[in-house]
Structure 1
Amino acid sequence: MSVGPDAAALVLPSAGPDPIPLATALAAVLGYARGRRPLFFRSPSVPQGRWVQVLAYAFDRFDGQPPATGDGPTDRDVLLAEGLHGRLDPAGWREVRGRLDDVWPDYAAALARANGRPLWELPADEFSVLMEPGTVGASLRSVAEGPGARHVVAALHHRSPALIPLTDGHTRRQLWGHLREGDSGAAAIVHRELTANAGAFAALEAATARLLGRPLGRVRLHDVLLWLSGSLRMTHAVAVGRAIAADSEQGLEALLPA
């Protein structure tokens, strides 16, 4: 499979000044999905405690879970978001659950306006304030604002992973610096980077599906790379991913286009 020179690396200004080679990106995703860390654990059966290896990141707790279903938000939406961003206290849980009800019309409007198209296939005008109201960008901005925003966005991304970008404190700060005049919000930057790197993301998406045995969409791939970079975990994830690949004798480069 040959996809041309634009697929040699990912050029993501929001993640840093240097291009990310595809093999490095694939190692980072593998490290995120399969990496483990030591945790000292005590239990009634082992009161003296022992070291155990637990998953280092949230891939299985979030990406590996089936989405919530139904025509409106449910408690499962909040539980899925907790799998990515951590447990909420009772007041925070009620706040996020209520906020999901509040933003559901905006989420539904974004779905209707997109009409089945993923984020990267939408025209740039959908993310321009000059074309508002009624654009996908305007709806996504409303969804990503207000209390409990990161859990709300995570819940809605899990329902529509090809359309709803993920943002949290780390990634939002990285994205804001790349806003251009007229951008409707952070989704405009994600859209711009996905479309500018279409070939590379298509190759990474295909390689990730073969490597992990399950698809991981390019909106989520963008978020993983952005989050690893912004939280200073990229080096760790890449090293872990390469070690896992070496142990399994699976060459990462062999999964990528020539």
Structure 2
Amino acid sequence: MSTLSAGDVRLALDLPSAGPEPLTGRTALAAVLGYARGRRPLRYRSPNEREGRWVQVPAFGHERFDARPVPSGPLGDDDVLVAEGLHGRLDPESWTAVRRALDEAQPVADALVARAAGRPFWELPADELSVLGEPGTVGAALRNLAELPQPQPRYVLAALHHRHPELVPLLTRATWLQSVAHLREGDSGVAAVAHRELRANAAAFAELETAVAALLPAAPLTRLRLHDLLVWLSGTLRLPTAVALGEGTEEWRRLSGS
């Protein structure tokens, strides 16, 4: 365990897409820890049992998605399974549609990675997320993927984010609704909102990213994923639950010296 303490995350995060009030670094760190470590009770009974029993299961998707190994080779079946870990199981018809969409997304993803040229999302110039820089920008590629028929976009982008967690933002209806009101003229899509907020809070996200990496060394989260998490938790009213779960962990007690 590092010498990190909860007080080391001092800078607040001003994220309009997450709400009107800044999030303190302490709140953000507790929420992320709750997302990764939090458990909830579930009554379980197997077919050969007469009595059920209570078990503790992950409250959120960290183990099912963020901590999963990254598949190798071209996009394929394993990537669909990873995306299902975040967004839920697909029916057979939708599974086939998403699998086919991944084949079609492969050249788009390759072009997106080439365009970024090793730069993470938050270090891309603003023109990459503006229609004024199109065609061929990262923002244009992300918008094209987001315009796939439902339910493909969120699964395809989840698969690509898992492959490229520093470059491809996630997208859900909740985060879209939280972000769309903050679009500016010329934005290529809601990814531009995330880009602005990451750039405006660069020091705070760097601090939070370092703290999370110390707590979750086996599956650290990039600041792009941290932004998505905080917006999603806020927009779905899960932030207080995640904070409470995080503050109830052994890691937090050690951090707080209690």
TM-score, structure 1 as length reference: 0.92
Tell me how far apart the structure 2 counterparts of residues 133 and 127 of structure 1 sit (CA, whole Å).
11
Residue 17 of structure 1: aligned partner: 20
Contact 1:7–1:199 under 8 Å retained in 2: no
Residue 77 of structure 1: aligned partner: 79
User: Is 2:147 the counterpart of 1:159?
Assistant: no
Give the counterpart letter for 1:59 in structure 2. H
CA shift for structure 1 position 69 = 1.1
* Aligned counterpart for 1:55 among listed residues 51, 55, 58: 58
Give the counterpart letter for 2:15 in structure 1. L
Contact 1:245–1:252 under 8 Å retained in 2: no
Residue 235 of structure 2: aligned partner: 230
C-alpha deviations, 1:120-160, integer Å up to 9, x for none?
Answer: 11100111101110111101111222121111110000000
Give the counterpart letter for 1:19 in structure 2. P
Give the counterpart letter for 1:208 in structure 2. V
User: Is 2:258 the counterpart of 1:250?
Assistant: no
Tell me how far apart the structure 2 counterparts of residues 7 and 181 of structure 1 sit (CA, whole Å).
33
C-alpha deviations, 1:45-74, integer Å up to 9, x for none?
Answer: 43221111111100001011111111x211
Tell me how far apart the structure 2 counterparts of residues 169 and 48 of structure 1 sit (CA, whole Å).
39
Residue 239 of structure 1: aligned partner: 244
Contact 2:247–2:253 under 8 Å retained in 1: no
User: Is 2:164 the counterpart of 1:189?
Assistant: no
- Shift in alpha-carbon separation, 1:167–1:252, aligned structure 2, 3 A: farther
Residue 256 of structure 1: aligned partner: none
Secondary structure of 1:146's counterpart equals: coil
User: Is 2:67 the counterpart of 1:33?
Assistant: no
Tell me how far apart the structure 1 counterparts of residues 30 and 244 of structure 2 sit (CA, whole Å).
7
Secondary structure of 1:37's counterpart equals: strand
Deviates more, 1:44-53 or 1:149-158: 44-53
Residue 140 of structure 2: aligned partner: 138
Give the number of aligned pairs: 248
Secondary structure of 1:43's counterpart equals: coil
Contact 1:26–1:252 under 8 Å retained in 2: no
- Mapping 1:196-207, distance limit 5 Å: 196-207=200-211
Secondary structure of 2:57's counterpart equals: strand
- Pairwise CA RMSD: 1.8
CA shift for structure 1 position 252 = 5.0
Give the counterpart letter for 1:243 in structure 2. G
Unmatched tracts of structure 1, length 5 or more: 254-258
Tell me how far apart the structure 2 counterparts of residues 7 and 142 of structure 1 sit (CA, whole Å).
38
Residue 65 of structure 1: aligned partner: 68
Residue 117 of structure 2: aligned partner: 115
TM-score, structure 2 as length reference: 0.92
Tell me how far apart the structure 2 counterparts of residues 66 and 228 of structure 1 sit (CA, whole Å).
24
Give the counterpart letter for 2:226 in structure 1. L
Unmatched tracts of structure 2, length 5 or more: none
Which 4+ runs in 1 deviate beyond 4 A? none
Q: Give % identity.
A: 60
Secondary structure of 2:249's counterpart equals: helix
